[in-house]
Structure formats: C-alpha cells, structure tokens
Copies of this chain bind each other. A is one copy, B any other.
Amino acid sequence: MGEYASGNNDSQMQSIRRDPVKTDFQIYPIGFIEKSNDITEIIISSTFTDALLGLDSFSHIHVIYWFHQNDTPEKRKILRVHPRKNKQNPLTGVFATHSPVRPNLLAMSICRILSIKSNRIRIHEIDAHHGSPVMDIKCYIPPQKPLQNIHLPDWV
C-alpha cells in the first residue's frame, strides 16, 4: 500500500468510520480477457464458474476489469491528465475522466453477450487488452428512469 494508504490516517477519515480501521482490501481476478482474431471472450476461472448460473438470460453485462498495463506505483500516483491524451483538453483530475491512469486501476464496460459456453463468455467487443484481469461481472439492468439534466464539460 505504501503512500497510497496514507489517506487512511487522515483524522477526517477516522472520524467517519465506526469499524476498526481496515486498510488491506483484497481483490483478485475472477477471469481474464482473451482476444484472438475477431473473437473476444472472458475466460472465467474454474473457481468461479458457478457464479455464471442464469447469466445467459441477459443480453448485456457490466465488466469490471483492471488496467493492468498501468499497474506501477509511479503511474498510480498520477492524479491529473489531459483527457483523451489531447493536450488541447484542459488538465483534469482523473476522477473527472475515464483515464486508464488512476489510483485504483478499475475499468468499466457494458458488453453484449454473444454466447456463454462453460466458463467462456463470448462478447461483442470490449475496449480492453488481451490478458486484462477481470475483477467482476454484473448483469446489465437498464435504469428505471432516465437521468435528468445531464451536464458535461466542453471537452467531452
């Protein structure tokens, strides 16, 4: 954890928690992205295949994966970027972007399921690299009511 955990010692942080201070959160891949030719699949580890029951009733999934190519202490310290790597865009905090450089390397995509066979979920496409670790899959359920009054900055 090193310096990243230092925020946990903020007095402000302490004051809002009722539980004993916990700083060690375990996360581990439940599968990996496999890309070959025109086929994109999520290969689920055999440990977790039971968690797929019923997923074939859905058309789409949220995929939470890891920007593993940026998993270095140096890159994880970068807090501001020019969005879309375009210097014309204003310097912006990474929480105000979807940049693949961020403190926790979490990525989110919504993907169409093409087929599920055993532990292999074939999907239409995903903006992830071959070998990206997948941390979670959730069924896609559309919002009950559309979001209102959406605002965006000019660079979007």
Q: Are B156 and A141 in contact (CB under 8 A)?
A: yes
A56 vs chain B, min Cβ distance (A): 8
Question: A126 an interface residue at 8 Å Cβ cutoff?
Answer: no
Per the CB 8 Å criterion, the residue count for chain A at the interface is 85
Q: Are B152 and A58 in contact (CB under 8 A)?
A: yes
Q: Are A51 and B131 in contact (CB under 8 A)?
A: no
Within 8 A of B (CB), among A43-76: 43-48, 50-55, 57-62, 64, 66, 68, 71
Interface mask (A128-145 → B, CB under 8 Å = 1, otherwise 0):
001101011111111100
B-side contacts of A142, CB under 8 Å: 147, 150
Closest 6 CB pairs of A and B: A7-B45, A57-B153, A53-B93, A59-B151, A7-B47, A55-B96
